[in-house]
Structure 1
């Protein structure tokens, strides 16, 4: 499939067991086509069960997972990826991220192992997560495969304009995790005001603000059908320049997942 990330995908951290599989299946049934998991979440099998339950055509689905820091040593990358594929019930994963550039991460060796996975058809696209600009530059220099995505925390309280600019300049997608700032967006007066103006929720406004940024997509987590549908629809909310400027002007900064 052509690598084109939807504006809104599903973050699956915390979804587990039969309820988690049901949430993944419901997400796919209502229209999600991008699922994001990770080895450290411990729920790749849950995501795989949800995929199997929904029965969406594989070519219509983009599945991403991430190699945790204790499996980033070059010799550990392939076996850990094979274990992820077994858990997911897939022959290949569409996008494999370096979860964080620490632990066993060896830029040259780790990224060469990722390139080998692409060459052998186990991974379609390579991404990184929680990288700084200088680490992104290093990855671009070392990878033979294109860098397709960088996943990072991004929401009205934490913007990282340097990372977004780097993504735009280098032609890869910025994937925003925690786009609702862990629920804090509902307490932000500018976001609430824009929501009242549009007769919608602060959560919808935050997702619309995130996905309205050039080159940025969002992966909010949800489990109920109501919230799944609302998050998916939020990308279609049309914020005008004054709305965007009002949220852009928020001065408070809060990073939920510091290194």
Structure 2
């Protein structure tokens, strides 16, 4: 699988998202994915499943150097001491001495960005994480972190799918060589019933979900982390890498409405 090179790490283009998977279900899903060849696992402090992810990784026997693990600090723990405690707790649950990528999960109203990123960069220098990044940051926040603070950012993880336009943010990230990692890449299952995507899928003999996923993965600098608990779905997502979309397909997808944001909690930033 192709890796995106960013801030000294290789980020596999397709990973496994684990939001809302816990306990035995999460462990089985991660074990299945690793068995199928996934090497990018995404979790977070807030998901309350890092222990299950860690158990699955330990059971898999996949060499640590061949595995990319992302976790995230919740927005209530963005004070410097709290960030450090949160990462220590995450590493203990994951049974790892470092993660590959540590993200700020959501911005907070009263965060001290310079202090946050000073702490995150120290954790990186200490080898507790190989790289740092953000999730759910808008363009204004990205500019502050990248241009004013000057922190190296390995990715911005945001909602992105065929029904949501992220072109302005994607253009900014591309200008700084920062990958976009797409969560909810299948629009929480919404792609499966879309008539346009179904027509394209029938043309190629694949599923609408595979069409939607390949549309994302065909874009420069974009990775995706679809959640999939069943091995059949995990394999189908891997097989999407082999779907060949043509210009007619891309034009039809471009014409879909692009204003469907599914994740917009009250503490979200003002989206650009």
Band the TM-score falls in, shorter-chain normalisation: over 0.9
- SS of the residue 1:78 aligns to: helix
- SS of the residue 2:119 aligns to: helix
1:140 matched to 2:146: yes
1:200-219 matched pairs, under 5 angstroms: 200-219=206-225
Question: Is the 2:101–2:129 Cα contact (8 Å) retained in structure 1?
Answer: yes
> Aligned residue for 1:26?
32
Q: Distance in 1 between matches of 2:91 and 2:104?
A: 16
Unaligned runs of 5+ in 1: none
Label 1:90 to 1:145 Cα distance change in 2 as closer, same or farther (>3 A). farther
1:104 Cα shift?
A: 5.6
CA-to-partner distance for each residue in 1:157-185, whole Å, 9 max, x for gaps?
11211111112111111000000001111
Alignment TM-score, normalising by the size of structure 1: 0.96
1:140-159 matched pairs, under 5 angstroms: 140-141=146-147, 145-159=151-165
1:161 matched to 2:167: yes
Q: Distance in 1 between matches of 2:258 and 2:67?
A: 37
Unaligned runs of 5+ in 2: none
1:229 matched to 2:232: no
Among 203, 211, 220, the residue aligned to 2:226: 220
1:257 matched to 2:266: no
Label 1:45 to 1:142 Cα distance change in 2 as closer, same or farther (>3 A). farther
Question: Is the 2:165–2:258 Cα contact (8 Å) retained in structure 1?
Answer: no
1:9 Cα shift?
A: 0.3
Label 1:174 to 1:252 Cα distance change in 2 as closer, same or farther (>3 A). closer
Q: Distance in 2 between matches of 1:237 and 1:105?
A: 42
Q: Distance in 1 between matches of 2:188 and 2:66?
A: 29
Question: Is the 1:118–1:145 Cα contact (8 Å) retained in structure 2?
Answer: no
1:103 Cα shift?
A: 5.2
> Aligned residue for 2:60?
54
Alignment TM-score, normalising by the size of structure 2: 0.92
1:66 matched to 2:72: yes
> Aligned residue for 1:186?
192
CA-to-partner distance for each residue in 1:130-170, whole Å, 9 max, x for gaps?
01101001111355652110100000111211111112111
Question: Is the 1:70–1:103 Cα contact (8 Å) retained in structure 2?
Answer: no
Among 195, 207, 227, the residue aligned to 2:201: 195
Question: Is the 1:7–1:235 Cα contact (8 Å) retained in structure 2?
Answer: no
1:37 Cα shift?
A: 0.5
CA-to-partner distance for each residue in 1:107-138, whole Å, 9 max, x for gaps?
11111110110111101111100011010011
- SS of the residue 1:254 aligns to: coil
Question: Is the 1:112–1:143 Cα contact (8 Å) retained in structure 2?
Answer: no
CA-to-partner distance for each residue in 1:67-120, whole Å, 9 max, x for gaps?
001111122111110000001000001000011111563211111110110111
Q: Distance in 1 between matches of 2:152 and 2:247?
A: 33
Question: Is the 1:12–1:37 Cα contact (8 Å) retained in structure 2?
Answer: yes
Label 1:184 to 1:116 Cα distance change in 2 as closer, same or farther (>3 A). same
